[in-house]
Amino acid sequence: MKRPAARPVPDLGKPRRAKQPTVAERVLGNGLRVVAVRRAGVPMVHTRLRVPFAARRADHLPKRLVLDATMLHGTAKHDRTGLAVALQEVGGALGVSSDPDRLLVRGESLSNGLPRLLELLAEVVTEASYPKAAVEGEVARLQTRLRQRLAQPAEAAAEALRHRLYPGHPYGRDLPSPEETAAVTAASVRALHRRWVVPEGSLLVLVGDISPARTLDQVERALQGWAGEATAAAPAPATPTGGDLTLVDRPGAVQSNLRLGGPALRRTDDDYAALELANVVFGGYFASRLMRNIREDKGYTYGARSALSHGASASAVVLEVDVATEVTAPALVEIGYELGRMATLPVTAAELQSAASYTAGLLALSTATQAGLAATLETLLADGLDVSWLREHPERLAAVTVDEARAQAHQFLAPARLATVVVGDASRVGDELAALGPVTAASDAG
């Protein structure tokens, strides 16, 4: 095919600044922090209630998963169906999820339904009844769902990496055994709720087509009766280390799931922006070194993704790559090569600029919707930051130097410091992996 003459790529125009959200805030008498933001896009409102959990004991995990599944199964005033009907009437829904650090109750409704949504949210946090039959039903269902999750290679790999990074700490596990799950009773879930679901230290973020001042009053009326005191935070986990590759056998697997992880900086750290950009250059977006190498050059993978993740008491860098069984060891060689380059050689200024623009753009997109802004604010506020971070962080990203990025890559992307987990067919990948370094077999994917 005859190729037309190349045309010039247009320059960027003058950027227009985003309007920063105006935040109204109040701490209620019971200790609940409430943050309301007007974002009128569509006539909806999105809410996120974040309640700190500070799990210490192993049996916290199965109990909180049952609590997630049954918190909306009835209150003193409504049964499960009645509650769901009341929410639907205002175009609304509530959803409950948890991790070792916190319980999250997400809500949404038509904006004119907000008073009703708040009433129902208050009813759930103060009067959830955890009926015995509902808990028993959900315990059985949860066991089925856990079997389904464990059968997913990505879930098995995530669990194996958690265990490698945080052995013995609540961060080290997200999939309880069927036996642990079966032992959860309605009484123990009610006790968990009483102890942990308290206003002190909790945060409620509301974003939508609302008047912030009136919303704060509505929240105060609905939730001032919620009472209870916070429990002290749990101890942080030990810093993860590298070491032998952990091989989890998945007989017959046509792919291997490669996961590498290690410690990372908090968002509040002065060097965070530099680490963030180093990570993006390495594996954080489509144009990353790793994607160019193992996808666009070698065709080993559909996707490779390296990301920073943040718990309340530890942050991690986690790399996820799935590859065909036959290229498992070669892919790991390329990953080690790219990590080694990051750890020992500088990135280019062009790479840094591209990563900074992308990261700032992504932050802007994450706040472009009501639900997205609510989630971003909740995360920032829980980390002790405030809304000014949205304005200031792009400037910090743009100011990162090549040397600063190199220093962070040297510390956090060094292959020797990362833990490696592979889920795959051990009979087909074990020998080649052992040729690269020491391998320890995990007993099973759990």
Residue 144 makes CB contacts below 8 A (sequence gap 6+) with none
Q: Which is nearer to other proteins, 41 or 167 (by Cβ)?
A: 41
- Rounded to the nearest whole angstrom, what is the least distance from the CB of residue 121 to other proteins in the complex? 15
- Rounded to the nearest whole angstrom, what is the least distance from the CB of residue 55 to other proteins in the complex? 25
Q: Which is nearer to other proteins, 27 or 254 (by Cβ)?
A: 254
Q: Which is nearer to other proteins, 231 or 354 (by Cβ)?
A: 354
Q: Which is nearer to other proteins, 287 or 307 (by Cβ)?
A: 287
- Rounded to the nearest whole angstrom, what is the least distance from the CB of residue 136 to other proteins in the complex? 9
Q: Which is nearer to other proteins, 148 or 427 (by Cβ)?
A: 148
- Rounded to the nearest whole angstrom, what is the least distance from the CB of residue 148 to other proteins in the complex? 6
Q: Which is nearer to other proteins, 116 or 341 (by Cβ)?
A: 116
Q: Which is nearer to other proteins, 76 or 232 (by Cβ)?
A: 76
- Rounded to the nearest whole angstrom, what is the least distance from the CB of residue 145 to other proteins in the complex? 6
- Rounded to the nearest whole angstrom, what is the least distance from the CB of residue 416 to other proteins in the complex? 28
Q: Which is nearer to other proteins, 175 or 343 (by Cβ)?
A: 175
- Rounded to the nearest whole angstrom, what is the least distance from the CB of residue 313 to other proteins in the complex? 31
Residue 24 makes CB contacts below 8 A (sequence gap 6+) with 35, 36, 37, 212, 213, 215, 216
- Rounded to the nearest whole angstrom, what is the least distance from the CB of residue 405 to other proteins in the complex? 16
CB 68 within 8 A of CB 96: yes
- Rounded to the nearest whole angstrom, what is the least distance from the CB of residue 423 to other proteins in the complex? 10
SS (H, E, C) the chain: CCCCCCCCCCCCCCCCCCCCCCEEEEECCCCCEEEEEECCCCCEEEEEEEEECCCCCCCHHHHHHHHHHHCCCEECCCEHHHHHHHHHHCCCEEEEEECCCEEEEEEEEEHHHHHHHHHHHHHHHHHECCCHHHHHHHHHHHHHHHHHHHHCHHHHHHHHHHHHHCCCCHHHCCCCCHHHHHCCCHHHHHHHHHHHCCCCCCEEEEEECCCHHHHHHHHHHHHCCCCCCCCCCCCCCCCCCCCCEEEEECCCCCEEEEEEEEECCCCCCCCHHHHHHHHHHHHHCCCCHHHHHHHHHCCCEEEEEEEEEECCCCEEEEEEEEEEHHHHHHHHHHHHHHHHHHHHCCCCHHHHHHHHHHHHHHHHHHCCCHHHHHHHHHHHHHCCCCCHHHHHHHHHHHHCCHHHHHHHHHHHCCHHHCEEEEEECHHHHHHHHHHHCCEEEECCCC
Q: Which is nearer to other proteins, 111 or 246 (by Cβ)?
A: 111
Residue 256 makes CB contacts below 8 A (sequence gap 6+) with 322, 323, 324, 325, 328, 331, 422, 423, 424, 425, 429
Q: Which is nearer to other proteins, 108 or 378 (by Cβ)?
A: 108
- Rounded to the nearest whole angstrom, what is the least distance from the CB of residue 425 to other proteins in the complex? 10
